Structure 1
């Protein structure tokens, strides 16, 4: 549970920095994402989830 909370805190910190440093770029990215087809968003989400799991596996000594 500590690792989950640490990961969520890290995500919030990185997102907060991006919103603070590049607000217009984030706004444009959100508009582009909102206009993307659902299938493309689903594939990007699945790809991100797989990449995250692989990254965690490697970071935890999987390789």
Structure 2
């Protein structure tokens, strides 16, 4: 269980690092993207979220196999 929790924390840490790269390096571009995201429809955001989850699961499967 300890190993699973540690792996989860590593994953969350990597997610936070990746999420922070864009606003750190290009804050103006990031701001424009966020404005577009806020004005998008819920359907479009759900599709984007589903695609993101699918790609994450696929990458995890490839890395772990």
Between the two proteins, the alignment pairs up a number of residues equal to: 61
CA distance in 2 between counterparts of 1:10 and 1:24 reads 23
TM-score (norm: length of structure 1): 0.89
The correspondence for 1:55, drawn from 56, 59, 64, is 59
Question: Following TM superposition, by how much is the alpha carbon of 1:19 offset from its aligned partner in structure 2, in angstroms?
Answer: 1.2
The aligned counterpart of 1:40 is 44
- Give the CA RMSD over aligned residues: 0.9
- Is it true that 1:16 corresponds to 2:36 in the alignment? no
Where do 5+ consecutive residues of structure 2 fail to align? none
Q: Which runs of 4+ in 1 moved over 3 A?
A: none
Question: Following TM superposition, by how much is the alpha carbon of 1:12 offset from its aligned partner in structure 2, in angstroms?
Answer: 1.0
**Over residues 17-37 of structure 1, what are the superposed CA-to-partner deviations in whole Å (9 max), with x where a residue is unaligned?**
221111001100000000011
TM-score (norm: length of structure 2): 0.87
Where do 5+ consecutive residues of structure 1 fail to align? none
